[in-house]
Structure formats: C-alpha cells, structure tokens
C-alpha cells in the first residue's frame, strides 16, 4: 500500500511541475511588439497597483469622437524604482503614450514611454 501511495505522490508532483508553465503570466504576448503607436489624451483613472500599473485615458480624434484606452506598464515596485509613484498622474492630466498595441484590436497599449504634464517622461527603465 505504501508503494502505491508513493507512486501516486510522485506522479501527481510530476504533473504539477510540468503543468506549472500553463499557469504562467504572459501578458506581453497580448501586444504586437512589431508595431508602435502614439496617442495623446486625458487621464480618467490611474491605478498604481498590482499586477500592472494601468492608465485609463480618453483620446479625441479629429472629428471629436472620444475613444477610451488603457495603457499598461510593469508592476508598481519596478515602476517605483524608475521614478513612478502613486502620485505621478491624476485624472484630468494630459498625457502622450507610446507603446505596443493589443494584437486583438482592443484599445490597449503596453507602455514604452509616457510623457506626463510639464513634459516629464516616464519610461519603463531597464527591463
């Protein structure tokens, strides 16, 4: 009986080790790294929280149509090390965001650079 329990434990452990990559976080695969887009807009929400810092902003086109976008960066602890804080942005701030757009057409972008009010540049720093 003990050998059967040992075999079940080993097989279960092996399956968990092999299955672990399935549950890994691969957010960067959502974005088209071969494309770069730049948008200017007005911050509607700034979330300096895990798992990724997010900036929600509205972009107005030449016809006056407003589209809501979400810009995503790294985790807060990494962003803090390169100068971002929970007070870096606030609703109403004008920003220019440059980054990789979502592959599926959603209005999302992975930030490469963000120009905040007064021209302050917020980047991701060394990865």
Q: Is CATH 3.90.25.10 the right assignment for the domain spanning 26-123?
A: no
Burial 11-48 (b: 16+ CB within 10 A, else e): eeeeeeeeeeeeeeeeeeeebeeeeeeebebebeebeb
Model's pTM, two decimal places?
Answer: 0.75
Which pLDDT value is given to residue 2? 75
Which pLDDT tens digit goes with each residue over 16-59? 555 544 444 545 578 998 999 999 999 999 999 999 999 999 99
Which pLDDT tens digit goes with each residue over 97-126? 999 999 999 999 999 999 999 898 888 764
Long-range contacts of 53-58 (CB under 8 A, 24+ apart): 53/79, 53/84, 55/89, 55/95, 55/97, 55/111, 55/114, 57/95, 57/97
What is the residue extent of each domain of the chain? 26-123
> Average pLDDT in the 63-67 region?
96
Which pLDDT value is given to residue 123? 83
């Amino acid at each position: 009986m003990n050998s059967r329990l040992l075999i079940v434990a080993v097989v279960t452990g092996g399956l968990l080790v092999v299955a672990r990559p399935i549950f890994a976080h691969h957010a960067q695969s959502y974005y088209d790294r071969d494309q770069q887009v730049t948008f200017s807009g007005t911050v509607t929400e700034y979330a300096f929280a895990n798992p990724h810092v997010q900036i929600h902003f509205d972009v107005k086109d030449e016809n006056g149509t407003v589209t809501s976008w979400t810009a995503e960066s790294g985790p807060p602890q990494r962003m803090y090390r390169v100068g971002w804080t929970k007070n870096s942005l606030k609703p109403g701030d004008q920003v220019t965001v440059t980054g990789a757009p979502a592959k599926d057409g959603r209005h999302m972008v992975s930030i490469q650079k963000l120009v905040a009010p007064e021209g302050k540049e917020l980047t991701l720093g060394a990865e």
